[in-house]
Amino acid sequence: MTDNDKITEKQDAVAPAPEVETEEMALDDARRLKVLSPGMLVFKRFIRNRLAVIGLGILVVMFIFAFLGPFFSPYKQTQVFKGIGSMSKEYASATYNTELRYNVADGEAFGPGDRAQFLLAIGKNQSTFTSGANTFSISKESESTYRLLRLEPVAEELLGRVNPVNGATLSDALIEMYKKAKDNNQTSFVVDGVTYYLVPKLKATQISTAKDIALASLVVFDAYKPADTANVNSFAFKLGSIMAIIQDKKTFDVNGQVYKLVEEGGLSTIYNSAGEAYAEVSDIIVNPVDQANFLPVDFKRIIRETINNRQDRFTFKDETGTDVNYTIVRVNTIYNIKRDTPIELIRMYERPSLEHPLGLDNNGMDLMTRLMYGGRVSLLVGFVVIFLEVVIGVIVGGISGYFGGWVDTALMRFVDLFNSIPFYPMVLIFGSVMDALQVEPMVRIFLLMAVLGILGWTGVARVVRGQILSLREQDFLVATEATGIRTSRRIFRHLVPNVMPLLIVQATAGLGGVIISEATLGFLGLGVKYPLASWGSIINVASDAYVMTNYWFMWIPAGLLILLTVLGFNFVGDGLRDAFDPKMKR
């Protein structure tokens, strides 16, 4: 063997062995799990639970919607949307006149005392009555008009002899006509165009002439022009026009002026000699609701025509020539005329649209924006209340479980005392007190969180106590005592961290209950107050059966958000419970 062959043999002897391929371990490999940290183990178990992952996804969406959504919303939480709408407002009223209206002749008097005696006389169906020193005759011209005349004696018949009075001159024709009227039981007779009235006295009969004093009528006169009002309301004009209407005349004369009378639709229109509408005569009174408004006669006329025709709607042009719609609503004997008036209205209960995807609520606010801000309040209340419950429960439960003895007994009796307090009655009472004190909405939120936290910590305290009672005898705690670590550090640095997994699970599961409690108080009107919103206060509108059945978008979205949020917290709580369970299979 040569030297070269020996060298080659040695090189072959020391040649490296061929490389062996090694299999890379995956994250879920059982060999790798042994070296994972406890946190990674919990995370791996958590994400293995599909419901827990779904619940976490729901909560992420809820938090984005509540805390980031308002930054992208074009509206504010308290922004009220208004629009121009039509509102029916009372503009005038009308009624059939049932009270006699008096017109007294120029230079005459017919006072309240005379009117009272007149009403008594027509109540007794008398044709004459006496008031003071005057005797009046009642001439009933129609069912709605009475003509009042003052009787002025010219003669008196006593013991069959007719004697003149007040210097009057009696003609033979007058005496003869008087005797005929008396024999025929007549109350009046006419001589030479003059009407004489027979007025019985105690032992005599008085013969009198009559003078027009007043007119009592139910009809109403309206002048077309304000300048003609005085003449239209004068005694002579009303007497002439009423007598023309009663006698079915087409024209009548007053103070040398000829007027034309046209009756149509139960109304009488008087025209002057120039053919212009001069006055309206009717038994319907029309007055404006606001006395500052002037109602044209044309407007009153169309109201009266509508009422007489038993209709409830009409159209009339306003000062600008625009057609305005009116409705007539009858209440007993009153006809209320309502006018469709343009007005700025709050857009309440508006259904979903592109501008407002979830519509507008009962205050005219964007419902989606209110749900975003309401989610902030509901979630914030839930986390703050749970934080308070955990802090108080850990302190009380930790001290009670560590010291035991009389300290444990005293603190547990204190817990029992809190458990004996009825939760909802106390919260309702507190909400009513805040209503009475008119607490500001923002301050009310913090007070509500404090009350819910103070009343709900007892469950956490019992859980912490029970866990610490089982942990305080462990070797690691004996070691802390041997090293001289102070008591507070032993409890909160060594015992409480061992209880934290259970507290996290309980807190996560309790968040859903707190949100439901806040929603319940909001639904009852004792939670967050307007203008702030929470999901519970938004769903409060469902207490109205009409809103609940006709405006689904007012309460279903808020109810779904509460449902999904509580469901998400429950799923996450169940997932954490399974992840922290040491008996769970790897």
11-25, 51-65, 345-359, 502-516: lowest mean pLDDT where? 11-25
Q: What angle do CA 184, 185, 188 make, to 5 degrees?
A: 100
Convert the pLDDT of each residue in 257-309 to its tens digit.
Answer: 899 998 887 788 999 988 899 999 998 999 998 888 888 888 999 999 999 88
Q: Which residue has the tokens 């942990």?
A: 471
- Asked whether the predicted pLDDT for residue 5 surpasses 80, the reply is no
Check if the beta carbon of residue 285 is closer than 8 Å to that of residue 220. yes
Residue 510: pLDDT band (50, 70, 90) is confident
Residue 471, burial from CB neighbour count under 10 angstroms (0-12, 13-18, 19+): middle
pLDDT band at 585 (very low <50, low <70, confident <90, very high): very low
User: Which H or E run contains 489?
Assistant: helix 487-489
The answer on pLDDT for 403 being more than 90 is no
pLDDT of 518 above 90: no
Alpha helices for 160-289 (secondary structure H): 172-183, 229-232, 235-246
- From residue 127, give the alpha-carbon distance in Å to each of 45, 200, 238: 111, 12, 22
Share of the chain above pLDDT 90, in %: 14
pLDDT for the residue 54: 92
- List the one residue out of 144, 141, 108, 98 whose CA is nearest residue 235: 108
- DSSP 3-state of 166: coil
> What is the pLDDT, as a whole number, of residue 479?
64
* β strands within 114-203, DSSP E: 128-131, 134-142, 145-158, 161-164, 188-191, 194-200
Residue 586 has pLDDT above 50, yes or no: no
Encoded tokens for 482: 């041997």
Neighbours of 490 (CB within 10 A): 19
pLDDT of residue 65: 92
Each residue of 349-380: pLDDT tens digit?
889 999 999 989 888 899 999 999 988 888 88
Name which of 71-80, 156-165, 229-238 the model is least confident about: 156-165
| Separation between Cα atoms, residue 192 and residue 176, nearest integer Å | 13
H helices of 253-351, in order, are 297-308
Helix (H, G, I), strand (E, B) or coil at 41: helix
CA 190 to chain centre: 71
Torsion of CA 580, 582, 585, 586, to 10 degrees: 80
pLDDT tens digits, one per residue of 47-82: 888 888 999 999 999 999 999 999 998 999 888 998
Q: Does the structure show a pLDDT above 60 at 392? A: yes
Q: Is 497 or 322 the better-scoring residue by pLDDT?
A: 322
* Most confidently modeled range among 119-133, 466-480, 530-544: 119-133
Band of the pLDDT at 478, cuts 50, 70, 90?
low
User: Which CATH code of 3.40.640.10, 1.10.3720.10, 3.40.980.10, 3.40.50.720 fits the domain covering 49-81+356-580?
Assistant: 1.10.3720.10
Domain locations along the chain: 49-81+356-580, 100-217, 283-346
Mean pLDDT of 315-334: 87
For residues 334-354, average pLDDT: 87
All residues at 6 or more sequence positions from 71 whose CB lies less than 8 Å from its CB, including other chains: none
Does the structure show a pLDDT above 60 at 1? no
Q: Is 82 helix (H, G, I), strand (E, B) or coil?
A: strand
Write the single-letter amino acid at 442.
M
pLDDT, residue 457, reads 86
- Residue 335 confidence (pLDDT) above 50: yes
* pLDDT above 80 for 30: no
Residue 426's SS3 state is: helix
* Residues 468, 476 contacting (CB under 8 angstroms): no
Phi-psi region of 112 (alpha: psi -120 to 50; beta: other; left: phi over 0): alpha
Q: Quick check: 31 and 344 in contact, CB under 8 A?
A: no
First to last CA, the chain: 63
pLDDT at res. 481: 61
Q: Which of 13-27, 374-388, 472-486 has the lowest mean pLDDT?
A: 13-27
How far is it, in rounded angstroms, from Cα 49 to Cα 212? 107
Quick one: tokens of 260? 């034309």
* SS3 letters across 505-555: HHHHHHHHHHHHHHHHHHHCCCCCCCCCCCHHHHHHHHHCHHHHHHCHHHC
**Mean pLDDT of all residues in 506-510:** 81
